[in-house]
Amino acid sequence: MKQSLQLKLGQQLTMTPQLQQAIRLLQLSTVDLQQEIQQALESNPLLEVSEEEESGTPPEQRDEIEAATGDGPLQSLEQAATDASGDGTEWDSDTAQMTLPDELPVDTQWEDLLPSASAPPPQGDDFSDMDFEGRNSASETLREQLLWQLSLTRLSDTDRLIALSIIDDTDDNGRLVISVEDIHDSMPSDLDIDLDEVVAVLHRLQQFEPAGVCTRDLQECLLVQLQQLPPSTPWLEQAKSILSRHINQLGSRDYSQILRRTRLKEPELKEVLALIQTLDPNPGKSAVPDTIDYVVPDVFVSKKNGRWLVELNPDIAPKLRINAGYASLIKRADSSADNTFLRDNLQEARWFLKSLHSRNETLMKVASKIVEHQRNFLEYGEEAMKPLVLHDIAEAIEMHESTISRVTTQKYMHTPRGIFELKYFFSSHVATTSGGECSSTAIRALIKKLVAAENPRKPLSDNKITRLLEEQGIKVARRTIAKYRDTLFIPPSNERKRLV
């Protein structure tokens, strides 16, 4: 094979380490960014937190704080003891002048030498406020609650084995996910357990808290909760009768059929339904509260002097700088290992700071353009939301759509109307009869408004909502209305029907 040299022209995108770092920081959420900054501070000695920006304390006051905390000049023992006690009490001069021996016995305790040097523990309400571990600990699961109640119940070994199997097959909603026959078949054959014994243990577990756990379906769940109410509860027997015989009509809200079969009057049926509505269809979820995820906004939007202003949240990340002491140790012509280490970390620190600055600039540009485009939303609410897509913002700030997508993901904006993810302000459009465009978010707000104002006896159907929107100049298909209604968790008209 003959060898030859060829010259080719081409274009290729090279992802430099700086570009990769900038892209990665751009798509991080606030919590992830704080972790990334903390990791960079721990791994790079040339990065440090700017104390002036972090504490906001003037330099002349900072010297006093350092002296009081022991970071500055050493204090006298009397002054340190007074500061530690916090109550301004005077200490004995003999104690202050006491010196420790060079050698101490092995079993010597510090309390024996300095009995009054330890500050008293906080008492009262202040001590309860310091229970950080208890506040942040995970809540007890439903299974753990049931097992704890089972440990307090007197059962035979066989019944306890059946109860453990039932608890293991109960989901987080408190519902038994398999049949009693399957539980009976899973029991060891040498125990000779009857099906009636499994049912008896099941009924025993159904008396546990929360009321309605370990039930096989919704009907049994609600009936078990009714059975645990006092017999003097008004309309208790009527509620049991409706759940036992007419639960299908109740689910379809066929109240006329229920009135005819139960021979109740409409005011009486309303009282019975009010009692049924106090029951919990998913008792397991109410027993274990959901964890709350808090959102830290990245930008703040406020109106000042008739103008909407966008500001970055100064608390989402500490102010960083390069350590001048370490940077001054770098020598240009030195190629030693220590000098190379400092020089490489200095370059990484500069890249990191530049990437953070670029992230903040891009976030401010995108947020400002969003506020400029959605000013009517800030003024009048969701119904005034305008159509907006990523391409519109990308074209306005001359960036790629992928960059806009990274910036708007898991980034939040604090507005007078609440905290919203930046992606919330983007929506498709629907044509209007006047030739304009209407945002899908605005259409959802109109649907929610129409449903809230409807007659509960005759809820609006999807076709009716379509005609009402068309009267307002918005052309929307019925299937689109159904899709938007599902996203708003609004049930169909037949399920929204209720007695007034």
Give me the mean pLDDT over the 112-122 stretch: 46
Residue 270, judged by CB atoms within 10 A of its CB (0-12, 13-18, 19+), counts as middle
* pLDDT number for residue 301: 93
Length of the chain: 500
Per-residue confidence at 105, pLDDT binned at 50, 70, 90?
low
- Cα–Cα distance, 404 to 399 (Å, whole number): 7
Note the pLDDT tens digit of each residue in 162-218: 999 999 999 988 999 999 999 999 888 888 888 999 999 999 999 999 899 999 999
Residue 458 has pLDDT above 80, yes or no: yes
Average pLDDT over residues 352-356: 90
pLDDT at 52: 58
Return the closest-CA partner of residue 417 out of 316, 313, 490, 308. Answer: 308
Q: Are 226 and 239 in contact (CB under 8 A)?
A: yes
Per residue in 301-321, pLDDT (tens digit) is: 999 988 999 999 888 777 888
Cis peptide preceding 210, ω within 30 of 0: yes
Greatest mean pLDDT among 136-140, 267-271, 292-296: 267-271
**Average pLDDT over all residues of the chain:** 79
Quick one: average pLDDT of 241-268? Answer: 88
What Å distances lie between residue 355 and 30, 393, 495, CA to CA? 15, 21, 53
What is the reported pLDDT for 256? 86
Of residues 317 and 73, more confidence is placed in: 317
pLDDT at 159: 92
Q: What is the mean pLDDT of residues 108-121?
A: 47
Rounded to whole angstroms, the Cα distance separating 381 from 307 reads 17
Which segment, 288-292, 322-326, 393-397, is predicted with the most confidence on average?
393-397
Report which secondary-structure segment, H or E, holds 414: strand 412-415
**Distance between CA atoms of residues 260 and 89, nearest Å:** 82
498/448 Cα distance (integer angstroms) = 18
Whether residue 356 is predicted with pLDDT greater than 70 in this model: the reply is yes
The separation between the first and the last C-alpha atoms of the chain, rounded to the nearest angstrom, is: 92
Q: How many Cβ atoms are within 10 Å of 82's Cβ, its own excluded?
A: 16
Name the band, by pLDDT with cuts 50, 70 and 90, for residue 15.
low
Q: Dihedral angle at the C-alpha atoms of 122, 124, 125, 129, nearest 10 degrees?
A: 30
Give residue 326's pLDDT.
84
pLDDT of residue 63 exceeding 60: no
pLDDT at 395 over 70: yes
Closest CA to 174 of 268, 283, 86, 94: 283
Residue 84 has pLDDT above 70, yes or no: no
Q: What is the DSSP string of 13-34?
A: ----HHHHHHHHHHT--HHHHH
pLDDT in tens, 43-57: 989 888 887 544 444
pLDDT value at residue 414:
94
What pLDDT score does 499 carry?
65
Q: Is 2 exposed, middle or buried (0-12, 13-18, 19+ CB in 10 A)?
A: exposed
**Between 230 and 97, residue with greater pLDDT:** 230
DSSP designation for 486: H
Residue type, 109: Q
pLDDT score for 127: 42
How much of the chain, in percent, has pLDDT values that exceed 90? Answer: 29
Q: What is the pLDDT of residue 338?
A: 86
Nearest residue to 213 (alpha-carbon basis) of 252, 166, 248, 247? 166
Residue 249 vs residue 112, higher pLDDT: 249
Q: Where are the alpha helices (DSSP H) in 252-305?
A: 255-262, 266-276, 283-287
Residue 419: per-residue pLDDT? 92
Per-residue confidence band for 14, with pLDDT thresholds at 50, 70 and 90: low
Is residue 148 very low, low, confident or very high in pLDDT (cuts 50, 70, 90)?
very high
The yes-or-no verdict on residue 136 having pLDDT over 80 is no
Tokens standing for 363? 């976030």
State residue 62's pLDDT score.
37
Q: What is the pLDDT of residues 472-488, one digit of tens each?
A: 888 888 898 899 898 88
Residue 442 has pLDDT above 70, yes or no: yes
How does strand 412-415 pair with strand 418-421? antiparallel
Predicted confidence (pLDDT) at residue 67 exceeds the cutoff of 50: no
Query: Do 423 and 433 touch, CB atoms closer than 8 A?
Result: no
pLDDT value at position 137? 46
pLDDT of amino acid 12 = 66
The single residue listed with the structure tokens 């997508």 is 405
Q: Is 334 helix (H, G, I), strand (E, B) or coil?
A: coil
Per-residue model confidence (pLDDT) at position 97? 42
Domains observed in the chain = 142-287 (no CATH), 299-425 (no CATH), 429-496 (1.10.10.60)
What number is the average pLDDT over the span 105-125?
Answer: 47
- 150 and 160 Cβ atoms separated by less than 8 Å: yes
pLDDT at residue 66 in the model: 36
Cα–Cα distance, 393 to 332 (Å, whole number): 45
